[in-house]
């Protein structure tokens, strides 16, 4: 009997370390933490039941028909379609929120809708114009907040972005990107969290990089994208940003239904800091209006 008990204790001791290696997923509200014996990750992001209503739209499809855009509708000029990243981002986000709140609300994602927004906002990358438009025309159901007081602070901007995502508020930011190279804009590698995605590197500037940490020049221009999620590895202090780009072609394949792409958190912030004429971090959050 004593021999049996010793063997049983030995078996438990040997088993316990291996059982501790299993990942445990804990979900608390909108924040999910993935914990294991060697790592801890914190996720800030829009709930999946909201993202179900998200519809991607490529801004170039509102312009004239071209070889790369055979289904374009011609609602705006070519120059407008090349620069309409801000209004297009706003259009996609407002459509998603409106339909999540009330599926019968009329809020289109189309070239004609984009043309109507542009008449009020222009195609400037000035996010304050989008803030004014959103609160003025769609203020009955959504609220647009500008990263005003925190725009000069990197740490405060991170809090602004992360808090917004935790509250199910989309974040639209200004960056610098390689927007004039069609193959880079639509690179398959941007849709994967692998070594082939060079945007997952915090620094460095290669021809394959889309989100750039360079000042505007050549193919590098100011651009606007939508942030939907950030995953931070608390052990090593790095993060990955999930975003949606209005300039990329809409992916219809089942493996790309979300059109979500990925970039290093540090790289995104570095790109935000070189966007525009100052080192500020331009961002707005858009979410359901609270009573």
Mean of all residue pLDDT scores within the chain:
84
Per-residue tokens: 206: 């290669």
The per-residue pLDDT for 168 is 97
- The pLDDT of residue 25 is 25
Q: In this predicted structure, what is the pLDDT of residue 106?
A: 66
For tokens 């009955």, the residue is: 140
Tens digit of each residue's pLDDT (9 = 90 or more) over 27-81: 223 333 333 334 589 999 999 999 999 999 999 999 999 999 999 999 999 999 9
- CA 251 from centre of chain: 16
pLDDT, position 36? 33
Q: Is 36 exposed, middle or buried (0-12, 13-18, 19+ CB in 10 A)?
A: middle
DSSP 8-state symbol, 185: H
Q: Which of 234-248, 254-268, 275-289 has the lowest mean pLDDT?
A: 254-268
Q: Which residues of 42-68 are buried (b: 16+ CB within 10 A; e: fewer)?
A: bbbbbeeebbeebebbbbbbbbeeeee
Backbone angles phi, psi at 116, to 5 degrees: -70, -35
Does residue 15 register a pLDDT over 60?
Answer: no
Q: Specify the pLDDT at position 19.
A: 31
Q: Across the strands, what pairs with 243?
A: 227, 261
* Alpha-carbon span 291 to 289, nearest angstrom: 7
Predicted pLDDT at 14: 38
What per-residue confidence (pLDDT) applies to 137?
93
In this structure, are residues 35 and 26 in contact, taking their beta carbons and an 8 Å threshold?
A: yes
User: How many residues are recorded in the chain?
Assistant: 291
Tens of pLDDT, residues 106-122: 678 999 999 999 999 99
pLDDT tens for 173-227 read 999 999 999 999 999 999 999 999 999 999 888 889 999 999 888 899 999 999 9
Residue 112's Cβ-side half-sphere holds a number of Cα atoms within 13 Å equal to 2
Place of tokens 């202090």: 237
d(C-alpha 183, C-alpha 179), whole Å:
10
* Residue extents of the structural domains in the chain: 23-288
One of 3.40.50, 3.30.310, 3.90.70, 2.60.40 is the CATH number of 23-288, namely: 3.90.70
């Amino acid at each position: 009997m004593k021999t049996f008990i010793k063997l049983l204790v030995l078996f438990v001791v040997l088993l316990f370390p291996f059982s501790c290696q299993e990942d445990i997923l804990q979900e608390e509200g909108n924040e999910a933490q993935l914990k294991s014996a060697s790592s801890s990750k914190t996720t800030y992001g829009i709930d999946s039941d909201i993202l179900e209503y998200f519809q991607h739209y490529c801004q170039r499809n509102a312009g004239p028909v071209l070889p790369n855009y055979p289904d374009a509708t011609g609602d705006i000029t070519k120059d407008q379609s090349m620069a309409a990243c801000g209004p297009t981002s706003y259009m996609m986000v407002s459509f998603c929120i409106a339909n999540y709140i009330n599926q019968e609300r009329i809020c289109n994602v189309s070239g004609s809708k984009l043309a109507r927004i542009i008449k009020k906002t222009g195609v400037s990358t000035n996010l304050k114009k989008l803030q004014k438009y959103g609160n003025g025309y769609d203020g009955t159901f959504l609220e647009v907040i500008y990263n005003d007081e925190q725009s000069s602070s990197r740490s405060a901007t991170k809090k602004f972005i992360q808090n917004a995502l935790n509250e199910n508020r989309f974040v639209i930011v200004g960056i610098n990107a390689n927007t004039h190279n069609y193959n880079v804009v639509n690179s398959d590698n941007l849709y994967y969290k692998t070594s082939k995605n060079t945007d997952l590197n915090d620094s460095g500037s290669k021809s394959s990089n889309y989100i750039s940490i360079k000042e505007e020049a050549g193919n590098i221009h100011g651009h606007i994208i939508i942030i939907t999620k950030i995953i931070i590895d608390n052990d090593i202090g790095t993060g990955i940003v999930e975003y949606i780009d209005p300039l990329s072609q809409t992916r219809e394949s089942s493996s790309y239904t979300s059109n979500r792409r990925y970039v290093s958190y540090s790289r995104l912030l570095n790109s935000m800091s070189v966007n525009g004429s100052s080192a500020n971090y331009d961002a707005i959050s858009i979410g359901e209006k609270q009573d």
